[in-house]
Amino acid sequence: MLTDHRAVTNDTVLNRAAVDALSAHVALCDKHGVILGVNAAWRQFADDNGGGLPDYGIGLNYLRVLEAAVEWARVNGATKTEIAVTHGVRVGFSDVLSGRLPRFQIEYRCDAPGTPRWFLLTISRVTDHPFASVLVAHENTTAIKDAEAAQHEHQRVMAGEFSSVIEAIARLIEQRDPYTAGHQRGSVGWCNFIADEIGFDDDRRQGLLLGAGIHDIGKIAVPAEILTRPGRLSTLEMEMIRGHAAAGYDVLRDIAFPWRIADMVHQHHENFDGSGYPLGLAGEEICIEARIIAVADMFDAMTSHRPYRAAHTVGDAIDELRRMSGTRYDPEVVTAMLRVIEREMSDAMSVTKGSQG
């Protein structure tokens, strides 16, 4: 009996020491959400950051604490994101507490006090404990986030430095198919306008324009005589041309770009309704950049002169965009492109009028 008691006591001490050794801030709550205990990191964080909750929150209902935090955020002019995160945590805790969810996780940014930090909050259901029902753990992930951001920035700078090499590759592709020379650059211009319309930040725009600039890189694997032959192609020849999307992916897949360049190239002939190639992806399975390149690609190709046919009018290209919206093309990207065309045409008209006056 004494031995059993010692074993239980030793287990409790060991568990306590293990939880106190964690760097995450941990609290255990009962089936009503009342905080039963917290670990050393939780207490240390509260001491370092001005506390806020009496006795580190022990004895308080965590659900009520979160409800008060949502209200505090609303009253004190917190940002929409901060209010949404606090509300999300309250809902997540409630869902785990009631058993609707076994686990809830959210990453959030903590700006005050001190320098901004990132935390990963995990709320887990505890099923094998006589008193505790929910475990709350806030893990500081700032170092991971900083390392990810530094790596992304490094790759972004490297990609910028390699831009002249990438432009040379784009020219090389175009020289093999003089009929479409300048087409990739034309697509880049339209992609830039669509990025403005959709609200891409500078980083995403840089990735999109890089992908658009080399979207046909896989044509390097297609014999030049097939690329340049006007008129009807055999089924086999068509298959060889279609292979350029997968060939481009194979060329780029192992390069550590900070953006999904290989996917953009791979997916630029996928259709929104799943009828495209090479993978038959549909909707948001296709990365947004590839959906943009598809629209820019089509518009530039249709409105450009080819030796074997005259350029279509802008009106024809607009009709085609509207006709294919939702089937071949993402309707939101088409809407953005139509706004771009309208704006560019009205700008061009005003320039023409100005020069006539």
Residues of this chain that bind Fe ion (CB under 5 A): 216
**Cβ proximity to Fe ion, 197 vs 270, nearer residue:** 270
DSSP string, 295-346: HHHHHHHHTS-BTTBPPPPHHHHHHHHHHHBTTTB-HHHHHHHHHHHHHHHH
The contacts found for 104-110 with CB under 8 angstroms, 24 or more apart, are 107/141
**Cβ proximity to Fe ion, 82 vs 216, nearer residue:** 216
**Cβ proximity to Fe ion, 123 vs 210, nearer residue:** 210
Q: Find the length of the chain.
A: 357
* CA dist 68 → 71, 73, 75, 115, 287 (Å): 5, 9, 10, 24, 40
User: Which amino acid appears at position 171 of this protein?
Assistant: R
For tokens 């990025």, the residue is 195
- As measured in angstroms, the least distance from the Cβ of 289 to Fe ion is 14
- As measured in angstroms, the least distance from the Cβ of 268 to Fe ion is 6
**Cβ proximity to Fe ion, 139 vs 216, nearer residue:** 216
C-alpha span between 187 and 178 (Å, rounded): 16
Backbone phi, psi, residue 123, to 5°: -115, 115
**Cβ proximity to Fe ion, 57 vs 218, nearer residue:** 218
Backbone phi, psi, residue 223, to 5°: -55, 135
**Cβ proximity to Fe ion, 216 vs 330, nearer residue:** 216
**Cβ proximity to Fe ion, 25 vs 269, nearer residue:** 269
- As measured in angstroms, the least distance from the Cβ of 305 to Fe ion is 19
**Helical H segments across 27-61, by residue range:** 40-48
- As measured in angstroms, the least distance from the Cβ of 232 to Fe ion is 19
Residue nearest to Fe ion (CB): 216
CA 187, distance to chain mean position in Å, is 22
DSSP string, 345-356: HHHHHHHHHHHH
C-alpha span between 233 and 298 (Å, rounded): 20
- As measured in angstroms, the least distance from the Cβ of 271 to Fe ion is 13
**Cβ proximity to Fe ion, 57 vs 248, nearer residue:** 248
C-alpha span between 354 and 356 (Å, rounded): 5
- As measured in angstroms, the least distance from the Cβ of 244 to Fe ion is 6
- As measured in angstroms, the least distance from the Cβ of 248 to Fe ion is 8
- As measured in angstroms, the least distance from the Cβ of 267 to Fe ion is 11
